[in-house]
A and B are shown apart, each in its own frame.
Chain A
Amino acid sequence: MKLHEYQSKQIFSKYGIPIPKGRVAATADEAKQIAKELGSRVVIKSQVLVGGRGKAGGIRLAKTPDEAGELAGQILTMEIKGLPVRKVLVDEAANIETEIYLGITNDRAARRPVMMASSAGGVEIEEVARLTPEKIARVHIDPMLGLREYQARDIACGIDLPREHTRLFGQIALGLWQAYVDCDATLAEINPLVITSENQLLAVDGKMLIDDNAQFRQPALFEMRDLDVEAPSEVEARRYGLSFIKLDGNIGCMVNGAGLAMTSMDIIKLFGGSPANFLDIGGGASAEKVAAALRIILADPNVKAILFNIFGGITRGDEVARGILAALHEVKTSVPMVIRLVGTNAEEGRQILAEAHMITAETLVDAAKKAVAVATGAPAAAGG
Chain B
Amino acid sequence: MSILIDRHTRLLVQGVTGNEGLFHTEQMLAFGTNVVAGVTPGKGGEWVLGGKVPVFDSVKMAVDATGANTSVIFVPARFAADAIYEAADSGMDLVVCITEGIPVQDMMRVREYLDQRQVRLVGPNCPGLLTPGECKVGIIPGNIAIPGTVGVVSRSGTLTYEVLYALMLVDMGVSTCVGIGGDPVNGTNFIDCLQMFEEDSQTEKIVMIGEIGGTDEERAAEFILDRLTKPVVSFIAGQTAPPGKRMGHAGAIIEGGAGTAEEKIKALRNAGVEVARHPEEIPDLLKSR
Query: A interface vs B, CB < 8 Å?
Result: 106, 108-109, 111-113, 126, 142-144, 181, 184, 186, 211-214, 216-217, 243, 245, 247, 255-263, 265-270, 275, 278, 280, 283-284, 311-315, 342-344, 363-365
Closest A residue to B219 by beta carbon equals: A109
Contacts A269-B240, A363-B280, A365-B280 given; indicate if A260 touches B159 (C-beta within 8 A): yes
The verdict on B101 contacting chain A, using a C-beta distance below 8 Å, is yes
B108 within 8 A of A: yes
| B contact residues, total (Cβ < 8 Å) | 64
Jot down 13 A-B pairs with beta carbons below 8 A, ordered by A.
A109-B214, A112-B112, A143-B112, A144-B112, A214-B105, A258-B249, A258-B252, A259-B248, A275-B240, A283-B100, A312-B141, A343-B161, A363-B280
Stretch at the interface among B32-40, B42-50, B150-158, B223-231: B150-158
Q: Are B20 and A283 in contact (CB under 8 A)?
A: yes
Extra contacts, 15 of them, besides A142-B112, A262-B240, A266-B240 (Cβ < 8 A), are A112-B112, A113-B105, A184-B103, A216-B77, A243-B247, A245-B245, A258-B252, A263-B235, A268-B240, A269-B240, A270-B278, A278-B248, A283-B157, A313-B127, A342-B144
Task: Decide if B141 touches A278 in the complex (CB within 8 Å).
Answer: no
Residues of B within 8 A of A262 (CB): 159, 211-212, 237-238, 240-241, 247-248, 252
Question: Are A263 and B162 neighbours in the complex by a CB distance under 8 Å?
Answer: yes
Residue B184 is within 8 A (CB to CB) of chain A in the complex: yes
In the bound complex, do residue B108 and residue A212 qualify as a contact, i.e. CB atoms below 8 Å apart?
no
Asked if A259 and B182 make an inter-chain contact with CB atoms under 8 angstroms apart, the answer reads yes
On chain A, the residues within 8 Å of B214 by CB distance are 108-109
Q: Is B85 an interface residue (CB 8 A)?
A: no
Which A residues lie within 8 Å of B68 (CB)? Answer: none
The residues of B that contact A213 with a CB separation of less than 8 Å are 77, 101-104, 250
Contact assessment for A364 and B278 in the assembled complex, using a CB-CB cutoff below 8 Å: yes
Which residues does chain B contribute within 8 Å of A106, judged by CB atoms?
A: 104, 108, 184-185
Q: For residue A247, which residue of chain B has the nearest CB?
A: B242
Interface residues of B (CB under 8 A from A): 19-20, 24, 27, 77-78, 100-105, 108-109, 111-113, 127, 139-141, 144, 154-162, 165-166, 182, 184-185, 209, 211-212, 214-216, 219, 235, 237-242, 245-252, 256-257, 277-280
Query: Is B242 touching A311 in the complex (CB atoms < 8 A)?
Result: no
Compute how far the CA of A307 lies from the CA of B89 in the bound complex, rounded to whole angstroms.
Answer: 46
Most central of A211, A213, A217, A247 by chain B CB within 10 Å: A213
Q: Are B209 and A313 in contact (CB under 8 A)?
A: no
CB closest chain-A residue, reference B110: A143
Q: Which residue of the partner chain B has the closest CB to A217?
A: B78
